[in-house]
Amino acid sequence: MRTLRKNYSEAADQWEALQTSSVPVLYVGAATCGRAAGAGEVIERLQTEIRDRQIAAQVVEVGCLGLCCLEPLVVVHKPGSPQVCYGRVDTDRIVHILDRYVLGDDPCAEWALGTMTPGEVDSIGKFSEHPMMTGQVRHVLRNCGVIDPKDMSHYLARDGYRGFMKALELGPDKTLKEVKKAGLRGRGGAGFPTWQKWQFCRTASGEPKYVICNADEGDPGAFMDRSIMEGDPYSVLEGMAIGAYVIGAESGYIYVRGEYPLAIRNLSIAIEQSRALGLLGDNILDSGFSFDLEIVRGAGAFVCGEETALIASVQGDIGSPRQRPPYPAQAGLWGKPTNINNVETWSNVPAIILRGGKQFSGIGTKQSKGTKVFSLVGKVRNTGLVEVPMGTTMREIVYDIGGGPQKKRTFKAVQSGGPSGGCIPAPLLDLPIDFDKLQEAGAMMGSGGLIVMDDHTCMVDVAKYFLAFLVDESCGKCTACREGVAQMHNILVRICQGEGRDGDIELLEQLGTYVKDTSLCQLGGTAPNPVLSTLRYFRDEYEAHIHDKTCRAGVCKSLVRFAIDPDTCKGCGLCVRDCPTDAISGEKKEPHHIDADLCVQCGVCYEDCPFDAVLVE
Amino acid sequence: MITLTIDGQQVEVEPGKTILDAAKSLGKVIPTLCYHPAVPAAGACRICVVEVVAGDRPGLVPACAYPAKEGMDIQTQSDRVMQSRRMTLQLLLARSPGAEVIQDMARDHGITENPFPERAKQTGDKSEKCIMCGLCVRLCQQIIGASAICFDGRGPDRKVSTPYNNQSDVCLGCGACAFVCPTGAIDPADYSPSPIEKIPNEFNCGLDSRTPIHIPFPQAVPNKPLIDRDNCIRFKTGGCGACETICPAGAINYDMEDEFVEEEVGAIIAATGYEIMDPSIYEEYGYGRYPDVVTSLEFERMVSASGPTNGELTRPSNGEPPKTIVFLQCIGSRREVNGKPYCSNICCMYTAKHAILYKHKVHDGQAFVFFMDVRAAGKNYDQFVRRVVKEQIATYVRGRVSKVFARGDKLIVRGADTLSGTQVEIAADMVVLAAALVPSSGIRELSQKLRVGFDEHGFLLEAHPKLRPVDTNTAGVFLAGCCHSPKDIPESVAQAGAAASKALGLVCHTRLSREPTIGIVDESSCNGCFECEGVCAYGAISAKELKDKKGNTLATVANINQGLCQGCGACAATCRSKSIEVQGYRDDQLFAAINAINR
Amino acid sequence: MNVNSTVTESLQSAAATLLSEGKVGVVIGYGRDAGASISHPMFIRKPEDAERLVFDDCCFGNLAVYLPRDKVRSMGKIGIVVKGCDLRAINVLLREHVVKRDDLVLIGVPCTGQGDPLLHKCSVCEQHNPEGCDMVVGDPVEQPAIDATQRYKDAASLDDKSLEERWAFWSGQLSKCIRCYACRNVCPLCYCKRCITEKTIPQWIDTSAHLRGNVAWNVARAFHLTGRCVGCGECERACPMDIPLGAINQKMAQLMDEWYGFHSGLSPDEKAPFTTFKVDDPETGIL
Amino acid sequence: MIQKAKNETTDPSEWQPRIVAFLCNWCSYAGADLAGMSRLAYPAAIKIVRVPCSGRVDPMFVIKSFEQGADLVLVSGCHPGDCHYTSGNYHARRKLLAFRELMTFFGIDPRRFKISWVSAAEGAKWSNLVKEITDEVKALGPFETYSEILTGETGP
């Protein structure tokens, strides 16, 4: 069996050259979220500066480190000193850093987030001790934002594909045993033991077999898979190769959302490079194992996250699920045995094989092993990618890493699992991240979206939002989901318009259990979760909406009347400027007044008032 | 085999069968909407959910699509199941307020009111009855193979339509989708440019339509369906094939061809029956112009339980029960000019029967009969007719009708009442014409094939009207029923019995008795020219070599096969040397007959 | 009377070779005795007698008349000199299974017509060069186009008469008939073992030479030749009482031609008109 | 022995025509029978000879009938296509029509030899036919041509 020894040594030299470059190297986080924050302009400005002023420096575009609130991120590595990571680097700030630190030796500590590599820079702490990073253990994201996603040698230099080659040596049975020992469970949301899923497909009769990567990631506000694919596509390919080797599949598909063009590009480049090195294609490394991959673009349907709908979509049919059994492991793509895993699941596999299942199972709780990547969003200070070991409590994520609710807001709940998930109220914040524990609390690990909500979030409105999403995304095949979810949404719309009636809550519960019980696929099966869990923990808000016709969070327009508390209003006039319909009047420094007729309840004053003088009646 | 328990009862099914199959074999009824045996199950409507209590992942599963597993414990009526069914029905009631099927099912499940508001109708939403079960789309795509209709859109706004919602150019117009639709929501005419030609049901005189594969009529023998090749989609375009997939006996084979079966038989009984003359040639009665003027055969079908209206007598024009009905006798019969001179024998009796049937169907209705003279000669026939008159079931008016014309929605029947000598006008809702009986079409070709004579009306000729009424001039061919002359069932049955016994008499002996009048050859004078063989229609003449003792041939002469010779005498007339005589019609006997003119 | 020398010589040599090679038992041809006015039939059994054969324009006799005779058939295979009209007669005999084709060797002789002046039958003859023979002696002669209107000239002349005139003519002619049956003996197609006139039980035809029987005899004879007579004219030539028998046969031949488009004797496989029918045969005058 | 018809008187007013009719057993004879059964009267001058088929009639029977003193001979069979023996009437049609032409050629009056098709159901047609023929033969008078032959006076 060929071992690519030459490639590895070349890669190592290349990586070493980069680390010990005689010229300063600037790593710019150029993933989708980085570019959205302006990374593209920063890179442009940097290159023009270097060219015009003939500065000896090198720019490397890398994936995303995951600290969304601090984007764009630039890591500067001057020869002889450790890498320093800077946050919120816009086009001006990059010039400053260039002049003062790259050319000079002022490390601009005020913008620095921390040093990435060992070594000291005065008045700059360690990046790993940054509040967002302290609780994190980065295994899946270890390469994201570090390596150049378009350059395979970086990946190889950091033990890329060694797991795969070890698997080839171990043979399928031993490799499977390692995955079993690791206790890896599906990161797509259901948490089904991965080794067992592979075992089903492996023993199913029928040739050829297929492996699929479910990169549909339809949950609103979830972007973990995107970051992995954009930052470290090779880990997915390697993981799939190992899985295919164990299962005995010779071809695989990566089903990527149409809305992730950058991920698709990076994956395609990774596939091309892997094929060039003979790590994909026929008789890989003369091992007799052949495997190749193809990318299939999703057509923008959330339902295609469900495995049978995904398979239908890959086959070219309308993406709508079918009744199971038979499960995909027996009869999936073109009726042949098929194994589907989530992006994060696949990218965990190489490390498990390389370092052994035991080392992986060392992290996490008794039932849920390894780390989980969350996308922490919503009303929290530090939004971004969070990879924590299983067992970390929700409080640590929201408060320690997330920095707690925003200024002057009180935490209300965190929604976990997107449209199929449930909400976790403050009293349950000490709930550890664990498949089964979350299940018991009516929530669900889901793909990893964590949406933090504070007192200005109306839970009924959140439930209505998720139902509205599901009404659009339901494939419409089975009565329960098509009609049930639509009717639940109608009820919530009525409640939010102040036309709630007695019995609506009971009807919602009844409908909820019916839809969960009778729907054909898991989309319908989990659709009522947002409503049922908000009902479970925030029944009072529903009662308020129905009986008192008020929405304390000030969100449901038709139930809200804003008024200014004369005691607290300082008359600063901020709200007068922002009010779109000039409904607020009053003298400077005197308590102001809202004219109820003109007010359209947009809530801008309520949000912006520095003194919280605006009250909700 | 897989054993499982349903509602506590053990049942065994083959592997691959679904829970619904198992339930069916136990005689348990599970409601279905989107299920049809000929279409792959989809589990879309969720009305058939049952509860898996043990033996597999517990929860509700669709019986129609969920495979039965060893050791499963299923409950089909548990609370959880009934609650789910009721909720599904309520949701469907909101979804499709127009679907009666759903309303009936809801009533059966004790649903009185519906908490859910009716769904706002989308623009262009043609049908309020559609419950989006997808049966029609699956059938069209997977069974018929035309894929003319498909789903458009997603979620609650999903609807069945053609691509871009314009007329389909692949729709075969077979109407199968309408056939399987559980709520009657789909009408193929919405999608297919070519109008769906309804196939008139011949047995019901075209009053209703039938499917290409059908059993000709309820009492057909053998009582088996046949495929009408001209209208069957499989033969027209190669599509469909639904009957083949659904037939449990696998009895359908599209490659079979009609074949001619030659049978050597000893006797043939012609019993080809009759047809009703088309009365539209008489303008005055308005048949063909007014829908409410019908023939007696059409009336017979209307009142029959297996008829087009399942026995409910309704006026073809507006579907109302006819309050006044007029029966006109002798339409086309007993007419010297432009009609049939003979009496059709059975009309008087069936009209009396029709009057009684009419009374059963429309109790408060009034019936009139215009007649010339009632022919009720059979056993108890006259008493039957007199009862109809006495019990005022129908008013018998002796006289002919001159004209039937429409006035408003009534039909005015103007005729004479010869007993009172006055002209009569009746405003009727329906007019029944007792049209003349004529032999069934094709009788002429048949008679020439059987070499049996027929009269100018086409009725086959009996050998002798008095002495041999069931025989024909051709040995071995017998007659029965209306092909000989109009007659009713008792007479037909009697004639059939006679014909059958005659036929048996012919075939059950070992030897055949023949008329002695056959040809004999005088071998001494025969020249062997064989011109006789040329004219013999039965191939009865062959060559025979006269040999001397030593075996050399002296002469070749004609020889007549006595079994084949029918005694026609053509050979005798053709033989120049007068070497052939026909027994019984010898030349000398005929000469003697000629001489008789001198006596 | 001019002897066709070339034909005669080739005829003689042909006959001689046939006889010497034993292909035939006899050659029936024509011979000419000194001073005779016509050539007469001659049976040549020995090759050396062959040179007595001759062919000229007086070979009136239809040699086919000898073929049905048992005495002749006993001589083995028969060579026969055939003119066009003789061949047609032989075709009828073949058609009626009287002789078998293998028993015959047909020696075709191209004939420009017999008799001086030319016999009527030769003026309308379309078979100057006989076809389907085993051999043809002499070179083929030129086949003149015949005038179809003249084909049934004799019959036509009588048709023009009225019914009574015709009856008067024929009753006169037929009353002359002495019932010598020469017409029957000379006709190649009258080969019946027992003719209808000889049948007594019942007696079809009155045997006395009285008009009573003569009408019946001539009607029967004409009817029995309808669709068969090839018009060789021997009967008329042989009738001692010079009754124009040919006209009767000509009338019936005309009828067959008009109604059924039938010419007798053109091929051994043709179907005699009275042994077949067409559904749309003419049926004028049927009530 | 041929006898002259034994009619007492020979003057035309007393003269009764004698017609010989050959009727095919299955059609014409049955038609005549039906006429009888339907009580349709027709002149008795006609003497019916039943033959199995019109095809059985040898044209020489016509001559024989005239010799026996018939003033008119009729041959009647099934309509073409209806023959009980399929083709008997077709052969008859050819022979009889040719024979009538032969008679005409000899000068024997063709009007004295009639051919007709009468089916088993045409009783009415049969009786009308006989009426017509009888009237015609009465008009034609006795068959002089043949009676002369029989009485020995020979033509010129």
Give the domain ranges of chain B: 2-119, 125-190, 199-246, 265-511, 519-598
Q: D80 — contact with chain B (CB < 8 Å)?
A: no
Q: Which of A449, A452, A375 is nearest to A68 (CA)?
A: A375
What's the domain range around C179?
A: 148-260
Q: What is the pLDDT of residues B153-200, one digit of tens each?
A: 888 888 888 888 788 888 877 778 888 899 888 887 777 776 667 788
pLDDT of residue B488: 94
Q: How far is D42 from chain B (nearest CA, A)?
A: 17
CATH fit for domain B265-511, picks 3.40.50.300, 3.30.465.10, 3.10.20.30, 3.50.50.60: 3.50.50.60
Q: How many CB atoms lie within 10 A of CB D138?
A: 17
pLDDT of residue C2: 67
The answer to the question of residue C58 being in a domain is yes
Both C25 and C105 in one domain: the answer is: yes
Answer whether residue A14 shows pLDDT above 70. yes
A-proximal residues of B, 53-112, CB under 8 Å: 59-60, 62, 65-67, 80, 83-84, 87-88, 91-92, 94-95
- Which structure tokens are listed for C56? 């000229």
**H helix intervals, C74-210:** 84-95, 120-123, 153-159, 163-176, 182-186
The answer to the question of residue D156 being in a domain is no
Both C86 and C108 in one domain: the answer is: yes
pLDDT of residue B371: 94
B-proximal residues of D, 116-155, CB under 8 Å: 119-121
Answer whether residue A600 shows pLDDT above 60. yes
- Which structure tokens are listed for C20? 């010497």
Thinking of the domain B519-598, which architecture would CATH place it in?
2-Layer Sandwich (3.30)
Torsion angle of C-alpha atoms A373, A377, A383, A386, degrees rounded to 10: -10
- CB pair distance less than 8 Å for A486 and B115: no
Q: How confident is the model at residue B332 (pLDDT cuts 50, 70, 90)?
A: very high
The answer to the question of residue A264 being in a domain is yes
Answer whether residue B451 shows pLDDT above 80. no
pLDDT of residue C246: 92
- CB pair distance less than 8 Å for B529 and C224: no
CATH code, domain with A432: 3.10.20.600
Both C18 and C85 in one domain: the answer is: yes
pLDDT of residue B206: 87
Both C124 and C25 in one domain: the answer is: yes
Answer whether residue D20 shows pLDDT above 80. yes
Q: B115 — contact with chain A (CB < 8 Å)?
A: yes
For residue B577, the chain C residues in CB contact (below 8 A) are 192-196
Answer whether residue B126 shows pLDDT above 80. no
Both C9 and C124 in one domain: the answer is: yes
CB B11, CB B2: distance < 8 Å: no
CATH code, domain with D97: 3.40.50
CATH code, domain with A504: 1.20.1440.230
The answer to the question of residue A555 being in a domain is no
pLDDT of residue B334: 93
In this prediction, what percent of chain D has a pLDDT beyond 70? 88
Cα A491–A496–A498 angle (5° rounding)? Answer: 95
The answer to the question of residue A240 being in a domain is yes
For residue B473, the chain D residues in CB contact (below 8 A) are 26, 30, 84, 120
What's the domain range around D67?
A: 2-151
Over residues B241-259, the mean pLDDT reads: 86
pLDDT of residue B125: 62
Both C74 and C181 in one domain: the answer is: no
Determine the Cα–Cα distance for residues C239 and C249; give it in Å rounded to an integer: 14
> Could you tell me which residues come within 8 angstroms of residue B258 by beta carbon, excluding any fewer than 6 positions away?
none
Q: What is the SS3 assignment for C164?
A: helix
Fold classified for B2-119: Ubiquitin-like (UB roll) (3.10.20)
Higher confidence at residue C181 or residue A119?
C181
pLDDT of residue B96: 87
Q: Which of A335, A295, A292 is nearest to A312 (CA)?
A: A335
- Point out the least confidently predicted range of A112-116, A553-557, B52-56, C82-86: A553-557
pLDDT of residue A44: 93
Q: How confident is the model at residue D9 (pLDDT cuts 50, 70, 90)?
A: very low
Both C15 and C128 in one domain: the answer is: yes
CA distances from residue A79 to A46, A84, A174 in whole angstroms, order as listed: 18, 12, 44
Over residues A276-303, the mean pLDDT reads: 91
The answer to the question of residue C80 being in a domain is yes
Q: How far is A535 from chain B (nearest CA, A)?
A: 20
Average pLDDT in chain B: 89
- CB pair distance less than 8 Å for C193 and B577: yes
CB pairs under 8 A between B and D: 98
Both C130 and C202 in one domain: the answer is: no
Both C126 and C157 in one domain: the answer is: no
pLDDT of residue A351: 92
The answer to the question of residue C267 being in a domain is no
Answer whether the bond into residue D110 is a cis peptide, omega within 30°. Answer: no
Both A524 and A400 in one domain: the answer is: no
For residue A303, the chain B residues in CB contact (below 8 A) are 154
Q: How confident is the model at residue B122 (pLDDT cuts 50, 70, 90)?
A: low
Q: How confident is the model at residue D156 (pLDDT cuts 50, 70, 90)?
A: very low
User: Which of A454, A486, A521 is the last residue before a domain boundary?
Assistant: A454
Q: How confident is the model at residue B121 (pLDDT cuts 50, 70, 90)?
A: low
Determine the Cα–Cα distance for residues B555 and B182; give it in Å rounded to an integer: 86
Average pLDDT in chain A: 90
Q: How confident is the model at residue D7 (pLDDT cuts 50, 70, 90)?
A: very low
Over residues A445-457, the mean pLDDT reads: 87
Q: Which of C118, C188, C112 is nearest to C153 (CA)?
A: C118
In this prediction, what percent of chain B has a pLDDT beyond 70? 98
Both A167 and A299 in one domain: the answer is: yes
pLDDT of residue D11: 54
Answer whether residue B219 shows pLDDT above 80. yes
The answer to the question of residue C43 being in a domain is yes
C-proximal residues of B, 487-526, CB under 8 Å: 524-526
- CB pair distance less than 8 Å for C98 and B556: no
Nearest beta carbon to residue B573 from set D57, D64, D78: D57
Number of domains in chain D: 1
- CB pair distance less than 8 Å for B84 and A517: yes
Both A198 and A95 in one domain: the answer is: no
The answer to the question of residue C37 being in a domain is yes
- Which structure tokens are listed for A176? 């499977």
> Could you tell me which residues come within 8 angstroms of residue B264 by beta carbon, excluding any fewer than 6 positions away?
none
CB A197, CB A329: distance < 8 Å: yes
Both A401 and A328 in one domain: the answer is: no
Determine the Cα–Cα distance for residues A374 and A239; give it in Å rounded to an integer: 20
Determine the Cα–Cα distance for residues A330 and B16; give it in Å rounded to an integer: 14
CA distances from residue C30 to A580, C26, C53 in whole angstroms, order as listed: 143, 13, 6
Q: How confident is the model at residue B425 (pLDDT cuts 50, 70, 90)?
A: very high
8-state DSSP, B569: -
Determine the Cα–Cα distance for residues B296 and B313; give it in Å rounded to an integer: 13
> Could you tell me which residues come within 8 angstroms of residue A443 by beta carbon, excluding any fewer than 6 positions away?
A416, A417, A421, A422, A423, A424, A529, A533
8-state DSSP, A82: -
pLDDT of residue B476: 82
Over residues B547-554, the mean pLDDT reads: 89
Q: In one letter, which amino acid is C168? A: A
pLDDT of residue B100: 87
What's the domain range around A520?
A: 459-548
pLDDT of residue C37: 80
pLDDT of residue B331: 94
User: Which of C136, C157, C177 is the last residue before a domain boundary?
Assistant: C136
Both C205 and C228 in one domain: the answer is: yes
**The 3-state secondary structure of A14-61, one letter per residue:** HHHHHHCCCCCEEEEECCHHHHHHCHHHHHHHHHHHHHHCCCCCEEEE
In this prediction, what percent of chain C has a pLDDT beyond 70? 99
Q: How confident is the model at residue B576 (pLDDT cuts 50, 70, 90)?
A: very high
pLDDT of residue D1: 42
For residue C210, the chain D residues in CB contact (below 8 A) are 152, 154
The answer to the question of residue C178 being in a domain is yes
Q: How many CB atoms lie within 10 A of CB C33?
A: 9
Higher confidence at residue A566 or residue B284?
B284
Both A175 and A310 in one domain: the answer is: yes
Q: Which residue has the tokens 């199941």?
A: B81
Q: How far is A479 from chain B (nearest CA, A)?
A: 5
B touches which chains (3+ CB pairs under 8 A)? A, C, D
What radius of gyration, in Å, describes the C-alpha atoms of chain A? Answer: 26
**H helix intervals, B408-488:** 443-450
CB A392, CB A422: distance < 8 Å: no
CATH code, domain with A69: 3.40.30.10
**H helix intervals, A204-338:** 224-231, 233-247, 261-276, 307-315
Over residues C90-112, the mean pLDDT reads: 93
Both C161 and C55 in one domain: the answer is: no
The answer to the question of residue C272 being in a domain is no
Q: In one letter, which amino acid is B109? A: H
Answer whether residue B218 shows pLDDT above 70. yes
Q: How confident is the model at residue C140 (pLDDT cuts 50, 70, 90)?
A: confident
pLDDT of residue B117: 85
> Phi first, then psi: what are they for A29, rounded to 5°?
-70, 105
Q: C97 — contact with chain B (CB < 8 Å)?
A: yes
Both C177 and C125 in one domain: the answer is: no
Largest CA distance in chain C: 66
The answer to the question of residue C275 being in a domain is no
B559: β partners: B542
CB B182, CB B34: distance < 8 Å: yes
Over residues A412-418, the mean pLDDT reads: 88
Q: How confident is the model at residue D12 (pLDDT cuts 50, 70, 90)?
A: low
Q: What is the pLDDT of residues A236-273, one digit of tens each?
A: 999 999 999 999 999 999 999 989 999 999 999 999 99
- CB pair distance less than 8 Å for D91 and B570: yes
Q: What is the pLDDT of residues B388-411, one digit of tens each?
A: 999 989 999 999 999 999 999 999
- Point out the least confidently predicted range of A536-550, B99-113, B156-170, C49-63: B156-170
Number of residues in chain D: 156
Q: Which residue has the tokens 């036919």?
A: D129
pLDDT of residue C112: 86
Q: How far is B535 from chain D (nearest CA, A)?
A: 8
- Point out the least confidently predicted range of A20-29, A305-314, B157-166, C67-76: B157-166
8-state DSSP, B157: G
The answer to the question of residue A39 being in a domain is yes
Q: In one letter, which amino acid is A128? A: S
Class for domain B125-190, per CATH?
Answer: alpha beta
Over residues A331-341, the mean pLDDT reads: 94
Both A180 and A297 in one domain: the answer is: yes
CB A113, CB A65: distance < 8 Å: no
